[in-house]
Amino acid sequence: MSQKPDYASAENEALVKAAQKGDMEAFEELVARHRDKIYGRAFSMMRNEEEAIDLSQEAWVKAWQRLGQFQGEASFVTWMTRIVINLCLDQLRKQKRMRAESIEKLDEEVGGVERQMPVVVPNPTERLERSELRARIDKALAQLSVEHRTALVMHEFEELEYKEIAKRMGCSIGTVMSRLFYARRKMAVILAGLKREELQ
Amino acid sequence: MIDQETQLKLQAYLDGESTSREAGEIVRLLDSDAEAQVLFNELRATKSLLAGNEPERKLAEPREFYWSRIRREIERAERSADLLSAPATTTWWLRVFAPASLLAVLGVFVAVSLRSPENSVPMLAFGEGHEIDTPLEEISSFTFRSERAGMTVVWVDSHRN
């Protein structure tokens, strides 16, 4: 009689291989291990709890369906975050169409407030608890526009190159660079603890 | 003030996305331009603060609850996929026999309807005391007329003994 695998102590790679053979319990263990990370990435993109939960669950369903395509070039978590990022981008595109906003109308392309902002340097040596720093970053991210936040999340957290971000966002590399630049400048102001009102 | 193109070049240099020629230009600029240095430092500090500090979120939903919806969706999708893939393997015979069966049923119906009473056994036996009231003794007929279609159909049925 074969013994039931010990999923809880198995390595990710072993769980992935088992799941690729159709072992749903192995896949459930992968979901349990990484669900917070995938949900967190979806939340960073969407800034909406319900949407983030829905999209993260959809990502897991897609992952199960495409497990055969996972070859292990990147880690399983990286592969998963790419799936959820793509789903978030699709959702953001749908929302954008609903809002009927034009990319060309954004401030970033014509030079917005951020161009005139004085330079501020957030002090990396400032002794902030990591949780406090993350809370501050979270708060700052919430204040960015969807386009700026998306570019920032994909570059800083997902560590994608300009070219890859442009491909996924369906825009030019120049637009990505511009969005990233203004996103960073806004983040610098917020993270330095300055109030935007003081700058205007 | 540094122009926008130079600002973006500074950033590209920071992100390791400059060409070697642009990188050389930026190095020279940073050596000579204080404003460029300040902006570069801001961008670099922001980048380093963000690195590895993505806000963490924890799902409030219990593991089983979260998983149950995923599993349901997977199973539902697999059932749909099974149904979609079925035509290729199992329903070829349906495509052949379904129309043939329909034609056969229609054929039987028409044949029974038109069969003469002398050499037929009625498909439906009426109980005693039942009569079919027809205008003619031997024949029952129904007429359908459509003015709009300019069509008249007379359906003639043989009278049952």
More confident residue, A189 or B161: A189
Residues of B in contact with A138 (CB under 8 A): 55
d(CA B101, CA A105): 63
Q: How far apart are CA B38 and CA B51, in angstroms?
A: 20
A75 shares a domain with A57: yes
Domain boundaries, chain B: 4-50, 60-115, 134-161
Residue of B nearest to A126 (CA): B49
| Residues A154 and A63 reside in one and the same domain | no
User: What distance lies between CA A192 and its chain's CA centroid?
Assistant: 23
Whether residue A156 lies within 8 A of chain B, CB to CB, comes out as: yes
B41 CB neighbours in chain A (<8 A) are 119, 121
Q: What angle do CA A151, A154, A160 make, to 5 degrees?
A: 115
Residue type, A40: G
Question: Based on the domain organization, do A121 and A70 belong to the same domain?
Answer: no
CATH of the domain at A133: 1.10.10.10
The pTM assigned to this predicted structure is: 0.71
Same domain, A199 and A115: yes
Output the average pLDDT for chain A: 86
The pLDDT, as a whole number, for residue B80 is 86
* B1-58 pLDDT, tens digit each: 789 999 999 999 999 999 999 999 999 999 999 999 999 999 999 999 999 899 999 9
- pLDDT over 90 percentage in chain B: 46
Choose the final residue of a domain: A68, A100, A132. A100
Q: Are residues A109 and A20 in the same domain?
A: no
Residues A146 and A172 in one domain: yes
Q: Number of folded domains in chain A? A: 2
Q: pLDDT-derived band of residue B81, with 50, 70 and 90 as boundaries?
A: confident
Task: Indicate whether A91 and A168 sit together in one domain.
Answer: no
Residues A94 and A128 occupy one common structural domain: no
Q: Which domain holds residue A63?
A: 1-100
A100, A124, A157: which is the final residue of a domain? Answer: A100
Nearest CB to B73; choose among A61, A185, A187: A61
Q: Mean pLDDT lowest for which of B82-86, B123-127, B143-147?
A: B123-127
Q: What is the CATH number of the domain that holds A58?
A: 1.10.1740.10
Task: Return d(Cα B65, Cα A35) in angstroms, integer.
Answer: 12
Tell me the two tokens of residue B77.
């999708």
* Neighbour-count burial for B127-140, b at 16+ CB within 10 Å, e otherwise: eeeeeeeeeeeeee
Question: Per residue in A34-77, pLDDT tens?
Answer: 999 999 999 999 999 999 999 999 999 999 999 999 998 899 99
**Searching chain B, which residue's CA lies closest to the CA of residue A129?**
B53
Same-domain pairing of A87 and A109? no
| Model pLDDT for residues A84-95, shown as the tens digit of each residue | 999 999 999 999
B17, B50, B77 member nearest A137 (Cβ): B50
Query: Which of A3-12, A52-61, A64-73, B85-94 shows the lowest mean pLDDT across its residues?
Result: B85-94
- pLDDT band for A195, please (50, 70, 90 cuts): very low
Looking at residue A49, its amino acid is E
Mean per-residue pLDDT, A132-140: 90
Does A169 lie in the same domain as A124? yes
Chain B CB contacts of A161 under 8 Å are 17
Quote helix, strand, coil % in chain B, to nearest 5: 60, 10, 30
Segment A90-117 shows an average pLDDT of 65
Q: Which chain B residue has its CA at the smallest distance from A127's CA?
A: B49
- Which of A24, A60, A156 minimises the CB distance to B51? A156
Q: Is A157's Cβ below 8 Å from some Cβ in B? A: yes
Q: Are residues A132 and A191 in the same domain?
A: yes
Q: How many CB atoms lie within 10 A of CB A161?
A: 15
| Pairwise pLDDT comparison (A182 vs A103), residue with the higher score | A182
> Which residue of A65, A119, A174 is in closest CB contact with B38?
A119
Q: Which of B1, B50, B63 to mutate to test the interface with A (most CBs of A within 10 A)?
A: B50
Between A159 and A194, residue with greater pLDDT? A159
pLDDT at B141 over 90: no
Single out the residue in A71, A100, A129 at which a domain terminates.
Answer: A100
Q: Is A185 on the interface with B (CB under 8 A)?
A: yes
Q: Look at B57 and A43 and tell me if their CB atoms are within 8 Å.
A: yes
Is B57 close to A156, i.e. CB distance below 8 A?
no
Domain match, A74 and A119 both? no
